[in-house]
Structure 1
């Protein structure tokens, strides 16, 4: 099955638990349609570069999935219809990188990568 990475932003007035429950909800949608969530990360409440739906901040979540295209389309459709989700981005990837995403790595680790170049 194809591999995908999804990032979505939910409204700032949700609690952390509610934002994390959205990740579980959309993971179950994938599972119901024959896919699976390989890894998920909750990036927290972050300030956005510009306002989206009159919100300056949003809860960011990241999913690594292994799912057929119809399952991904259904999940995206439900994300776009959900009132709490403001933005969705899905990318098809060849393979999932090992370890945490760049957003979850410590700042020192990211700075060390720049120095090596």
Structure 2
């Protein structure tokens, strides 16, 4: 089955428990239609780049799924009809990365990632600045 990543943005006036309940609801929709949710993350309330339905903030949720396209289409359809969900983004990926998503990693871990030579120069420069 194809692999997908989904990001949902829910209204800011929901509680954290309600936002996590949405994750469970859409995970169940995928499971009921023959797929499975490999991983899910609740990213918390974040500021939006622009207003969506008069909201400046939203609850972000991230799902990784292994599901047939019919299950994904049904989940997206129900998410678009749900009053609490403002936006849905689904992307098909070749493989799921292990560990937490980039949004959940600590800033230091992200910066130490695959930076190549430029990263080593930056670390040397920072070390020299401290001395």
The equivalent of 2:53 in structure 1 is 53
- Residue ranges of structure 1 left out of the alignment (5+ in a row): none
Q: For CA contacts below 8 A with separation 6 or more, give which structure has more relative contact order.
A: 1
Q: Provide runs of 4+ in structure 1 moved above 3 Å.
A: none
Q: 1:116: how far off?
A: 5.1
Cα distance between partner residues in 1 of 2:33 and 2:72:
9
Cα distance between partner residues in 2 of 1:47 and 1:89:
17
Cα distance between partner residues in 1 of 2:67 and 2:102:
23
Are positions 1:28 and 2:25 aligned together?
no
Are positions 1:8 and 2:8 aligned together?
yes
- Residue ranges of structure 2 left out of the alignment (5+ in a row): 122-131
Cα distance between partner residues in 1 of 2:120 and 2:76:
38
Cα distance between partner residues in 1 of 2:111 and 2:26:
33
Are positions 1:37 and 2:37 aligned together?
yes
Within-5 A mapping of 1:1-117:
1-113=1-113, 114=115, 115=119
